[in-house]
């Protein structure tokens, strides 16, 4: 068995392991967000940026379940349901994949700038960031939308991983090729 065959053979167990890790992690992440929002001592620019990044992170996890993890492990159950979906419901998988990636990177850059300004100008830091936090929020959520909206124009299809198999009906959401 070469490396490629081995890596394919461990895909499903790795997905199960990732689900076992992801679900408690997301519950903890949501608890952190609720704590930040509820307690006034966490109402500063850093925690605002933290929550701003948490939203795309949570969306990405849900999107990965929708378009990758669940179709791989329970494809036999989902294939008849997904095959009735309109094209935009497949395109939304690609939209959110790109959207969450870009939004997360933008917020990470702003968190780095936030920490830099906390070191360089600690007295003016919080006042400066409070002034621009609303603009940054709009920027972080708007730029990925504008960048990735063409994903809704693409044609997406379902591809069975093993079309001749009688036991494995896992599938992929895939971009249809141009002819």
pTM: 0.86
The whole-number average pLDDT for the span 98-111 is: 98
pLDDT digits (tens, 9 = 90+) for 62-79: 999 999 999 988 888 998
Distance CA 6, CA 11 (A): 9
The whole-number average pLDDT for the span 131-160 is: 93
Distance CA 95, CA 25 (A): 24
Classify 90 as helix, strand or coil: helix
Assign domain 3-175 to a CATH class. mainly alpha
Distance CA 72, CA 129 (A): 43
> What residues contact residue 68 under an 8 Å CB cut-off, 6+ apart?
172, 173
Confidence of residue 179 (pLDDT cuts 50, 70, 90): very low
Q: Which residues pair with 174 in a beta bridge?
A: 157
Instruction: Look at the block and give the residue holding tokens 């702003």.
Output: 110
Contact by Cβ (8 Å): 70, 145: no
């Amino acid at each position: 068995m070469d490396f490629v065959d081995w890596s394919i053979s461990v895909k499903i167990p790795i997905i199960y392991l990732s689900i076992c890790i992801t679900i408690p992690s997301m519950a903890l992440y949501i608890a952190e967000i609720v704590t930040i929002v509820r307690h006034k001592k966490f109402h500063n620019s850093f925690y605002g940026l933290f929550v701003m990044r948490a939203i795309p992170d949570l969306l990405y996890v849900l999107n990965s379940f929708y378009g990758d993890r669940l179709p791989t492990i329970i494809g036999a159950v989902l294939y008849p349901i997904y095959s009735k979906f309109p094209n935009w419901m497949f395109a939304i998988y690609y939209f959110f994949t790109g959207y969450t990636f870009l939004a997360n990177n933008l917020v990470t850059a702003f968190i780095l700038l936030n920490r830099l300004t906390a070191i360089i100008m600690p007295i003016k830091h919080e006042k400066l960031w409070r002034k621009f936090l609303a603009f940054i929020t709009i920027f972080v959520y708007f730029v990925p939308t504008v960048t990735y909206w063409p994903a809704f124009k693409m044609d997406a299809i379902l591809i069975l991983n093993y079309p001749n198999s009688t036991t494995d009906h896992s599938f992929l959401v895939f971009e249809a090729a141009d002819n």
